[in-house]
Amino acid sequence: MKVIKYPFIIGFLTFTLFPVFWMFKISITPDRLLYSEGIVAWPSNTTWDHYYAVLIEGSFPDYFLNSFIVSITTAALVTIFAVLGGYALSRFQFRGKIALLIILLLTQMFPIVMVIAPIYNVLTYINLVDSISGLILVYTAFNLPFACFLMQSFYDGTPMELEEAAMIDGCTRMQALEKITLPLCLPGIGATLGFVFTAAWSELLFALMFISRQSQMTFPAGIMNFVTKFSVDWGQMAAAMILALIPVCIFFAYIQKFIVQGLTAGALKG
Amino acid sequence: MNKSFEPWLYLAPMLLFILLLVLVPLITGISYAFYNFDLISGTREFVGLDQFIRILNEDEIFLTSLVNTLFWTSTSLFFQFTLGLALALLLNNGFRGIKLIQPVLFVPWAVPSFLIGLMWVWMFNPVTGPLPYLFEWLGLMDLPENILSDPDHAMWGPITANVWFGIPFFTIMLLAALRSIPREIYEAASMDGVSGLQAFRHITLPLIAPTIIITLMIRAIWVANFAEIIIVMTNGGPANSTQIVATYIYDTAYQKMDFGYASVLSIALLFMLMIYGFTLGHIRRKMKVYI
């Protein structure tokens, strides 16, 4: 088992990192060498000019901040609602449940391009077009069905007996959920948070369609704007992409704790 | 508290969001199918089911894109799931340096999809990327050519990008499911002499089955609807060889500005995904018996 483990890990790492390495290489290659040197593993000369251009000359720090606010708020809202909604779907049998599940699933199936114009009208109606608050609401709504299914499946995988025992011992349902089930589902909550955060962090289509003010633009929309405005400056775009990866890596490193821990040790004994 | 009322209380905040910002727009979007949009005057005319007849009788691109959607979705999903599960098991098993390596392996999921497309366009291009030379060296190609301009194999370009992007999704979800299995269950099982593959088959698999089904179901629906990578990499070409229904819808709506017909195409895709979703949903309900 041990012997085959490491080649696999190295294989996964290579597949994952090689394209990122290649982008990084492009981001530090001076423009004049990009085409002239052909395919080389490392350019004969390197430069940080592209990073400088992105960070200083563009509005990327603003985009970063907007994206961060949007992603963290969306992730928090979605996770709270999904923790509640998933619980209802997992632990209760009730009239209309099947119909509700079907509707939730249907929302995932219709191509996004077809709902952009109608959503724009809704946002205009509540006066939130062209602001990150509107974007947060839309992202929350679109991430909820999946997050709810996900939490439901984590509850389903948690033994119900512990919770029932707690309720027999006099806990209310909410206390049993908070003290028994949620700690067991912490990996699931971590996964949901991480998932929604990245979904909001990398979403492009809604951001492009609903936001036009520079001050409200998110990171992907900012990069896209950048591409169309200055033709394609590959070095700068590669630099912007490498920069975009940093916050998500940090966030994932943090979220990992929840996914890795799995606070289940001792649960059945205690 | 009233028993039948209680679950709705937990669901209420979520449903409010979904109703206002997903369901209402969705119904409006579906209603476009019954109108013919006139670009010049900016008006629309009610045409009933006329556009549905068009899709059934005279649209060959739709059929091509349907076959391509099937190939794109099943192939992408197969590699994403098997590799994702393998990686989740590896990570769950633990190894030296896992703390450092694990977040690195999740990076592709965080890259915006149009950037993934652009990145792999460069990887496959013989002028800027190493892959054509790798394929030549491996004997897969006679000359270092761009796979994206070869109608017979172009689809493998976006599929590679999609697999790269999608593995972490399955890994994270399955890893989280694996981590929630109480360790005592394995300890008890090993006392009874059950271990290794048997434990995987009879304990691990049934306990992560709900997560497997839900992730497979959702991912298939997303992948079938996922147009960005293809639009960036090949825009459906060459010769419609990478045209899937989702890219065709995008093309119809935003290039040809035919929102009515794009909505008809969307309904067709919706209908097929519904059949798939219900089949898997049925399997999942059956499975609940074991848990």
The three-point CA angle A231-A232-A238 to 5° equals: 150
Nearest Cβ partner of B221 from A17, A109, A259? A109
Tens of pLDDT, residues B43-57: 777 877 778 888 877
Tens of pLDDT, residues A90-136: 888 888 888 898 888 888 888 888 888 889 989 999 899 899 999 99
Question: What percent helix, strand, coil does chain A show, rounded to 5?
Answer: 80, 0, 20
Residue B159, exposed/middle/buried by CB under 10 A (0-12, 13-18, 19+)? buried
Nearest Cβ partner of B172 from A16, A23, A194? A194
Look at residue B100 and tell me whether its pLDDT is greater than 60. Answer: yes
Tens of pLDDT, residues A9-24: 899 999 999 999 988 9
For residue A17, the surrounding DSSP H or E stretch is helix A2-27
Look at residue B60 and tell me whether its pLDDT is greater than 90. Answer: no
Look at residue A166 and tell me whether its pLDDT is greater than 50. Answer: yes
Q: Would you state the pLDDT for residue A26? A: 86
Nearest Cβ partner of A85 from B14, B104, B129? B14
Preceding amide of B112 cis, omega within 30: no
Write out chain A residues lying below 8 Å of B122, CB-based: 22-23, 26, 234
Interfacial A residues in 170-199 facing B (CB < 8 Å):
184-185, 187-188, 190-191, 194-195, 198
**What gap in Å lies between CA A151 and CA A130, rounded to an integer?**
32
- ipTM, two decimals, is 0.83
Q: Would you state the pLDDT for residue A66? A: 93
For residue B36, the surrounding DSSP H or E stretch is strand B35-38
Tens of pLDDT, residues A43-60: 888 888 888 887 877 677
Look at residue A247 and tell me whether its pLDDT is greater than 80. Answer: no
Q: Which residue has the tokens 């499946």?
A: A153
**pLDDT higher at A258 or A176:** A176
**What gap in Å lies between CA A248 and CA A68, rounded to an integer?**
10
The band of A75, judged by pLDDT with boundaries at 50, 70 and 90, is: very high
Write out chain A residues lying below 8 Å of B221, CB-based: 105, 108-109
Look at residue A260 and tell me whether its pLDDT is greater than 60. Answer: no
**What gap in Å lies between CA A60 and CA A173, rounded to an integer?**
47
Q: Would you state the pLDDT for residue A265? A: 36
> Is B16 touching A (CB cutoff 8 A)?
no
Task: Judge whether B185 and B205 are in contact, CB under 8 Å.
Answer: no
**pLDDT higher at B232 or A158:** B232
Write out chain B residues lying below 8 Å of A256, CB-based: 99, 102-103
Q: Would you state the pLDDT for residue B291? A: 43
Superfamily of domain B58-290 in the CATH hierarchy: MetI-like (1.10.3720.10)
Residue A35: closest CA among B133, B118, B129, B146: B129
Look at residue B226 and tell me whether its pLDDT is greater than 80. Answer: yes
Question: How far apart, in Å, are the Cα atoms of B3 and each of A83, A152, A179, B7, B231?
Answer: 19, 19, 22, 8, 49
Interfacial B residues in 95-154 facing A (CB < 8 Å):
95, 99, 101-115, 118-120, 122-123, 127-130, 133
Q: Indicate the average pLDDT of chain B.
A: 85
The full set of domain ranges for chain B reads 1-48, 58-290
- Compare all CA atoms of chain B with the CA of A221 and give the residue at the minimum distance: B112
Task: Judge whether B230 and B156 are in contact, CB under 8 Å.
Answer: no
Write out chain B residues lying below 8 Å of A209, CB-based: none
Task: Judge whether A140 and A188 are in contact, CB under 8 Å.
Answer: no
Write out chain B residues lying below 8 Å of A60, CB-based: none
Give me the phi and psi of B44, to 5 degrees please.
-135, 150
The lowest-confidence range among A73-77, A149-153, B166-170 is: A149-153
Task: Judge whether A26 and A235 are in contact, CB under 8 Å.
Answer: yes
**pLDDT higher at A12 or B291:** A12
Q: Would you state the pLDDT for residue B257? A: 81
Domains present along chain A, CATH in parentheses: 1-47 (no CATH), 51-261 (1.10.3720.10)
